[in-house]
A = this chain, B = another copy of it.
Amino acid sequence: MNLPVMQARLGAETVARVLSRVAELRPRVHCLTNTVAQNVTANMLLAFGAIPSMASHPDEVAAVAAGAGAILINLGTISPEGERAIPKLLEVARQHRKPLVLDPVFVELSPLRMRLAEEILSLPGIVVRGNAAEMAVLAPLLATAPSAIRVTTGRVDLIEAPSGRLEIAHGHPLMAKVTGLGCASSALIAACCAVEPDPLLAAGVALTAYGLAGEIAAERCHGPGSFAMHLVDALANLDEATLRARMG
């Protein structure tokens, strides 16, 4: 395993610093996300100290997103209405220089999602968070988007930005047994991007906190049902002492 370039920056203090800024500033993350994951995404954002908003109606999405600290576009269960909302969200992100995170759910199964991903990646500085299969099919597109930040989550999460790369080795296999937990991680990255200008660091902090909460939840649960509940509790209760104890 390559040693992560930025590992030194992701000590418990750094993670705690970004998390406390989220808790203090309470950024709103505007989520155009799939209807399966909306509820768990909103609850993870709240547990994190952020505020979710979720309009997708083309007649209001720009107004609602305009005041948000970051935008998430998740392509799962994309609707014709959501499709029409995407250019409006891109315009809001461009005009207000808001961080934008793309979650290309199942992009390998749908030419429509591939086309939408391409449209979104025309904006510079997009953070893309997907699993290995999703990121593999996006690779040619990402090769033409040099300013994009690529976040490939799995057993070890890999974050690749123009400024460096990071590996995060936290989390638990149960995170793949509950629907929407990957989608929620993209929202947490967006929340950190709203308060931390370096997207590499923001993504690293979000995935470290989420992964640690997952490890704690796995110790307390009896299956994926109770895991989901304990994950929300652990994320809400994550403090610097816990970070120090678990990050070694």
Question: Which listed residue (B38, B110, B180, B223) contacts A60, Cβ 8 A?
Answer: B110
| Interface status of A179 (Cβ within 8 A of chain B) | yes
Chain B nearest CB, measured from A114 CB (Å)? 10
Tell me which residues from 47 to 93 in chain A have a Cβ below 8 Å from any Cβ of chain B.
47, 52-60, 63-64, 67, 76-81, 83
In the complex, chain B residues whose CB is within 8 Å of the CB of A35: 35, 38, 54
**Given the interface contacts A110-B64, A111-B63, does A232 sit within 8 Å of B225 by beta carbon?**
yes
User: Measured between alpha carbons, how far is A79 from B57 in the docked complex, in Å?
Assistant: 5
Q: Which of A149-157, A191-199, A233-241 contacts B (4 or more CB under 8 A)?
A: A233-241
In the complex, chain B residues whose CB is within 8 Å of the CB of A56: 77, 79
In the complex, chain B residues whose CB is within 8 Å of the CB of A58: 80
**Given the interface contacts A109-B63, A177-B236, does A226 sit within 8 Å of B223 by beta carbon?**
no
B57 touches A83 (CB 8 A): yes
**Given the interface contacts A223-B232, A225-B231, does A54 sit within 8 Å of B39 by beta carbon?**
no
A179 touches B224 (CB 8 A): no
User: For chain A, which range describes its interface: under 10, 10 to 19, 20 to 34, or 35 or more residues?
Assistant: 35 or more
User: Measured between alpha carbons, how far is A198 from B121 in the docked complex, in Å?
Assistant: 46
A43 touches B224 (CB 8 A): yes
Q: Which residue of B lies closest to A67 (CB)?
A: B109
B232 touches A46 (CB 8 A): no
**Given the interface contacts A55-B110, A57-B83, does A39 sit within 8 Å of B223 by beta carbon?**
no
Chain B nearest CB, measured from A92 CB (Å)? 13
Q: Which residue of B lies closest to A227 (CB)?
A: B233
A111 touches B236 (CB 8 A): no
A229 touches B234 (CB 8 A): no
In the complex, chain B residues whose CB is within 8 Å of the CB of A59: 80, 112
B42 touches A179 (CB 8 A): yes
